[in-house]
A and B are shown apart, each in its own frame.
Chain A
Amino acid sequence: MNRTLRKLFSNASSLVGIVLLFVFIIIAILAPVIAPPLSEDPYQIPRMSWDVNPQPPGFSMSDNIRDIYDYMGKDLKWDISICGTAEGGYDIFYGLIWGTRTAFRIGLITVAIAAFIGVFIGSISAYFGGWIDEILMRITDIFLSFPFLVAAMVLTTILGRGLDKVMIALITFGWMGYARLIRGSILSAKEETYVMAAKALGVKDIKIIWKHLLPNTIFPVMVQATMNIGSMVITAAALSFLGVGAPVGYADWGQMVSFARNWIIGSPGNAGQYWFTVFYPGIFIVLFVLAWNLIGDTLRDILDPRLRGEL
């Protein structure tokens, strides 16, 4: 374990990944400080104006909205839009900061649950073999027949908008990779003598799986999980982009990019006019996913020589 940590920090690319991740964690934790919520629900992005057109960075809150806050007796902690507003006056900066929390939530929760389900199914399948293995693997094949985005789209269309529905969709079609991975590892580990020795001693199956097989086979799953955090966030963002993910106005990066869809081309004569609507959310998404991918990629390189049993 120490060796792994040491290698993670010494490799240039994973170091960049760790630093990036660290920055995001800080942003997520300090969200209420960096971008104080202006309403009850911190995940509801405040609107700077009713204007459909996005407003450039530095835009000051429009008067009619200011009046609403006065009327409601609410304290305006800030009123300048640092990164500009997206379509409908939603403040981009706020959306990005609180969107970090959303990203972590989506990434970590979906991956954790999907991995758990996958490992569970995969290890049962591999350990017991026979009919159980056949059936479980066929079920896995069936789920694998759906391209991930398409399946998620179908589920979210039918279940409705909302972050929790998005997570359900991601988990439902995200566990298969882990199942296959752990199944492969256990199938080979199962034949090792230490497992036969445990069986010969009469150790219960569940204990064998839990104490002997899993600790030795779980590392590739962890590597895969790390890489998948990024792709889960991307898929969730893609769903929001297509209009079937988070509800309108929710602090989610994909949501922010979807606001930009119609404005990317700018107005005639000024093509890059609304660059900020795509640039800021885009940069956040890319850096977040890049961080996880860099770390995961290095973890996989560490894993490879281990598998081969070299020095």
Chain B
Amino acid sequence: MLSYIIRRLLLLPIILLGVTFLIFCVFSLLSPMERLATYVHDPATLKSAQSIERLIDKYHLDDPFPLSYINWINRIVHLDLGWSQAANQPVWEAICQRFPATLELVLYSIIPVILVGIWLGVISAVHHNDMLDQTIRVTAIIGWSLPTFIFGLFVLFIFYGILGWLPPGRLSAWAQDIVYTGANFKSYTRLVTIDALLNGNIPIFLDALRHLIAPIITLSYISWAFLLRITRSSMLDTLRKDYVRTARAKGVDEHTVIHLHAQKNAMIPVMTIAGMMIIRMMAGVVITETIFTYPGLGFWAASSAQQLDYGSVISFALLFATLMVLGNLIVDISYALIDPRVRLE
């Protein structure tokens, strides 16, 4: 196992390098002028052709490819990602400011995804081909046929448009006043629900929760359908294995057979995919936050793309890709820890 982990760790910088290289290639499809625009936020500095020349030199935008790339990487490492037109602040700042909102949303979404997806997947496999299984399967198929944005619009329509229960955004105006400017509200984690609890402020906690429910439903819907499919097929496979029959031959009760003998094995491939899927939820975040005007990274990403704010777009691609690479690494390592065949070789 140790060699496996070391190998994965060694690959990490290589993959990150490849990722940044790919992004840079795409970035270079733009002209030096366009790329310059991502760094400069005050149009005044672009007045003369001379100053433009100087700036292009400063950012090494016209240099041969390798030099340009190295300089770009250097800037990134120093967190100089340019200026975001969409947010009207440096990109890195924009990311830091919006990260907690997205994190909060994703964390709350993971729970229903995993619980519902795996639980229903196991039930579906155990009741293979009878009515319960068919019903669950059809619901799941509809689930991943329903694009996030359609489902999200639908949720918004019903729960806000018609019922008025779940408003868009992150907090109501009155709550925002307290959280962002109030003196007696301390933002420890910048996750509003947790902060509200830590401050003992239940109304704000409830308000934040109210705003979170619709985005959570939307974000998790496709993911749990996918997880269900994977769990179901993994369980079906496992239930057919010889060792399940051995367990029954020993007189083990059916409940233990399914949940200990079978599930423990079936979950191994599911865990790896579940890990990746959580990371992929990040993409779903873009659409979900846009629909519910939830002020997170996704919303910023979508508006940047729409406004052709290249700097922001490139930066969030970099961010998401890095998160994904790290996430994959964690998933791979935990796989090695879960499966005793890999752990003890």
A and B: interacting chains: yes
Taking Cβ atoms with an 8 Å cutoff, the residues of A that contact B are: 13, 138-139, 141-143, 145-151, 153-159, 230, 234, 237-238, 241-244, 257, 260-261, 264-266, 271-272, 275, 278, 282, 285-286, 289-290, 293-294, 297, 304
Which of B15, B27, B153 interacts with A282 by CB under 8 Å? B153
The residues in B between 315 and 343 inclusive whose CB is less than 8 angstroms from any CB of A are 316-317, 320-321, 324-325, 328
Q: By the criterion CB–CB under 8 Å, are A142 and B147 in contact?
A: no
Inter-chain contacts of B22 with A (CB < 8 A): 142-143
Which of A154, A271, A289 interacts with B147 by CB under 8 Å? A289
The residues in B between 264 and 296 inclusive whose CB is less than 8 angstroms from any CB of A are 279-280, 282-284, 286-287, 290-291
Closest 4 CB pairs of A and B: A147-B283, A142-B18, A290-B145, A149-B283
List 15 additional contacts besides A145-B321, A153-B302, A286-B145; criterion CB under 8 Å. A142-B22, A147-B279, A147-B280, A147-B283, A147-B320, A158-B313, A242-B287, A257-B149, A264-B157, A265-B161, A282-B150, A286-B150, A290-B142, A293-B144, A304-B233
A157-B308, A238-B149, A286-B146 are known contacts. Are A271 and B313 too (CB-CB below 8 A)? Answer: no
22 sample A-B contacts, Cβ–Cβ < 8 Å, listed by A number: A146-B19, A147-B282, A147-B320, A153-B286, A153-B302, A154-B26, A157-B304, A157-B308, A237-B149, A241-B287, A242-B302, A242-B306, A244-B305, A260-B153, A264-B153, A264-B161, A271-B161, A271-B162, A285-B150, A286-B146, A293-B144, A297-B141
- A234 CB, nearest partner CB in chain B, Å: 4
Q: By the criterion CB–CB under 8 Å, are A154 and B313 in contact?
A: yes
Q: Report the bound CA distance from A123 to B182 in whole Å.
A: 61
Q: By the criterion CB–CB under 8 Å, are A139 and B18 in contact?
A: yes
Inter-chain contacts of A289 with B (CB < 8 A): 145, 147
Inter-chain contacts of B138 with A (CB < 8 A): 13
Contact indicator per residue, chain B 51-70, by CB within 8 Å of chain A (1) or not (0): 00000000000000000000
- A73 CB, nearest partner CB in chain B, Å: 38
Inter-chain contacts of B156 with A (CB < 8 A): 264-265
Which of B142, B153, B160, B324 interacts with A257 by CB under 8 Å? B153
Inter-chain contacts of B154 with A (CB < 8 A): 278, 282
Inter-chain contacts of A290 with B (CB < 8 A): 141-142, 145
- Closest chain B residue to A241, Cβ basis: B149
Inter-chain contacts of A244 with B (CB < 8 A): 305-306
Q: By the criterion CB–CB under 8 Å, are B321 and A158 in contact?
A: no
A157-B308, A272-B162, A286-B150 are known contacts. Are A150 and B142 too (CB-CB below 8 A)? Answer: no
Q: By the criterion CB–CB under 8 Å, are B149 and A151 in contact?
A: no
A230-B145, A238-B149, A242-B305 are known contacts. Are A145 and B15 too (CB-CB below 8 A)? Answer: yes
Inter-chain contacts of B305 with A (CB < 8 A): 153-154, 156-157, 242-244
Q: Chain B: interface residue count, which band?
A: 35 or more
Inter-chain contacts of A145 with B (CB < 8 A): 15, 19, 321, 324-325, 328
Inter-chain contacts of A297 with B (CB < 8 A): 137, 141
Q: Report the bound CA distance from A293 to B229 in whole Å.
A: 12
- Closest chain B residue to A160, Cβ basis: B308
Q: Report the bound CA distance from A243 to B286 in whole Å.
A: 12
Taking Cβ atoms with an 8 Å cutoff, the residues of B that contact A are: 11, 14-15, 18-19, 22-23, 26-27, 29-30, 137-138, 141-142, 144-150, 153-154, 156-157, 160-162, 233, 279-280, 282-284, 286-287, 290-291, 301-302, 304-306, 308, 310, 313-314, 316-317, 320-321, 324-325, 328
Q: By the criterion CB–CB under 8 Å, are A141 and B324 in contact?
A: no
Q: By the criterion CB–CB under 8 Å, are B147 and A138 in contact?
A: no
- B309 CB, nearest partner CB in chain A, Å: 8
- Closest chain A residue to B237, Cβ basis: A304
- B125 CB, nearest partner CB in chain A, Å: 12
Residue among A154, A293, A304 with max Cβ neighbours from chain B (10 Å): A154
Q: By the criterion CB–CB under 8 Å, are B141 and A13 in contact?
A: yes
Q: By the criterion CB–CB under 8 Å, are B26 and A149 in contact?
A: no
A157-B308, A289-B147 are known contacts. Are A272 and B290 too (CB-CB below 8 A)? Answer: no
- Closest chain A residue to B162, Cβ basis: A271
Inter-chain contacts of B287 with A (CB < 8 A): 149, 238, 241-242
Q: Report the bound CA distance from A34 to B145 in whole Å.
A: 26
Q: Report the bound CA distance from A266 to B324 in whole Å.
A: 38
Q: Report the bound CA distance from A244 to B160 in whole Å.
A: 27
Inter-chain contacts of A13 with B (CB < 8 A): 138, 141
Q: By the criterion CB–CB under 8 Å, are B324 and A147 in contact?
A: yes
Inter-chain contacts of B291 with A (CB < 8 A): 261
- Closest chain B residue to A146, Cβ basis: B321
Q: Report the bound CA distance from A224 to B14 in whole Å.
A: 29
Which of B30, B148, B233, B317 interacts with A151 by CB under 8 Å? B317
Q: Report the bound CA distance from A149 to B286 in whole Å.
A: 9
Q: By the criterion CB–CB under 8 Å, are A150 and B283 in contact?
A: yes
- Closest chain B residue to A292, Cβ basis: B145
Q: Report the bound CA distance from A126 to B96 in whole Å.
A: 42
Inter-chain contacts of B30 with A (CB < 8 A): 158
Inter-chain contacts of A271 with B (CB < 8 A): 157, 161-162
